[in-house]
Amino acid sequence: MEKWYRINDALLAAIDEHLQRLSEKKSRLDQRRPLSPSALERIKSELYLEWNHHSNAIEGNTLTLNETKVVLQDGLTIGGKSLREHLEIVGHNEAIAFVEQLAHPKYVLNGKDILELHNIIMHQVQKDIAGRIRNGAVRISGANFIPPAPHKVPELFDDMIYNIVSLNNTYHPILISALLHHRFVWIHPFFDGNGRVARLVMNLLLMSKGYPPAIILKEDRKKYYDALNKANHADYEKFFLLILQAAERSMNIYLGTFPDADHYDTISNIVSEPDVPYNSEYVSLLARRGKIDAYKEGKNWYTSKNAIKEYISGRKRVRKLK
């Protein structure tokens, strides 16, 4: 089997602080489990709705978040929107339910479940290709590569699964799920629906390890595609960072339900506090690079005073060691 992933020590060092921060947050969440049924249902309802909306919007679906909610919760159709767009939302919602059903600590990734996820999201949209590996060539607009020839896809698909399963406990779960996501998109095993299935399977691995789903926002579509293109040349840093930030945003939503949660606000509001020594530009740079605890909502970055204080304390510790 080909070893297609290459993660060097320099890359691991660059994202180590971010990984440690997420692991610490997961420990905090685990200590509070089980969450109350009402709180858990509220969080899941919010996150799964966002997951459905953003994953479909990245692929061109024009239903808004509120329209997605109306379709799923009220069973209504939206005027001016195509039947396909409605069916994409409904199918993806069923796929999320299937992911939640599969996700448990002993879950082992397999091809049958991936094919079933594809079948679920595509069976109402394009039944003839649902759950079937492609048998023809495809091209991806804007990508810097041509997906493998169809006769190579089954072997590459099986090799991907073998490698990902063999990586269990070798790297952080978020890195393993990100590697799977990228490799899946590179193989492009289906004629359509590859991006949505890649994000579903990535989150299946994350949820099996006790992490909430990482939701890539539609506002980050260009950044997402650019990061995937870099990963095609074994440059994973931007893609790992994007997934880490998406996972941290979801983790913060869970932790935000507790009374002692940090107070997050826009960066411009945080830096206006008299005891914050940095300006907006610098804090925004730290947020984009994953150097501080921060997350993105739409086009705005949010952080907390504690995140700034922890960053300052970390810099002081480094200076003392030197």
Amino acid at position 285, single letter: L
Give pLDDT, residue 315: 73
252 with 29: CB under 8 angstroms? no
Give me the tens of pLDDT residue by residue for the chain, a chain 322 residues long: 567 888 999 999 999 999 999 999 999 999 998 888 998 999 999 999 999 999 999 999 999 999 999 999 999 999 999 999 999 999 999 999 999 999 999 999 999 999 999 999 999 999 999 999 999 999 887 778 899 999 999 999 999 999 999 998 899 999 999 999 999 999 999 999 999 999 999 999 999 999 999 999 999 999 999 999 999 999 999 999 999 999 999 999 999 888 777 888 899 998 888 888 889 999 999 988 888 888 888 888 889 888 888 888 877 665 555 5
Give me the pLDDT at residue 212, please. Answer: 96
Which SS3 state, helix, strand or coil, does residue 322 take? coil
**What is the rounded CA–CA span in Å between residue 129 and residue 122?**
7
Q: What pLDDT is stored for residue 141 in this prediction?
A: 79
182 is a catalytic site residue: no
pLDDT at 322: 54
CA 239 to chain centroid, in Å, comes to 10
Question: Given the structure tokens 């397999």, which residue do they identify?
Answer: 110
Which of 118, 188, 233, 263 is flagged as catalytic? Answer: 188
pLDDT at residue 318, as a whole number: 58
Count, residues in the chain: 322
Per-residue confidence (pLDDT) for residue 320, from 0 to 100: 59
3-state DSSP of 57-71: HHCCCCCCHHHHHHH
How confident is the model at residue 1, as a pLDDT? 54
Residue with tokens 């804090």: 283
Q: Is 236 left (phi over 0), alpha (psi -120 to 50) or beta?
A: alpha
Q: Give pLDDT, residue 223.
A: 96
66-100 burial by CB neighbour count: b if 16+ within 10 A, else e? ebbbebbeeeeebeebeeebbbbbbbbbebbebbe
Angle at 281 between CA 279 and CA 283, to 5 degrees: 70
Domains observed in the chain: 9-255 (1.10.3290.10), 265-321 (no CATH)
Query: Looking at residue 201, what is its pLDDT?
Result: 98
Q: Looking only at Cα atoms, what is the longest distance across the chain? A: 64
pLDDT score for 2: 61
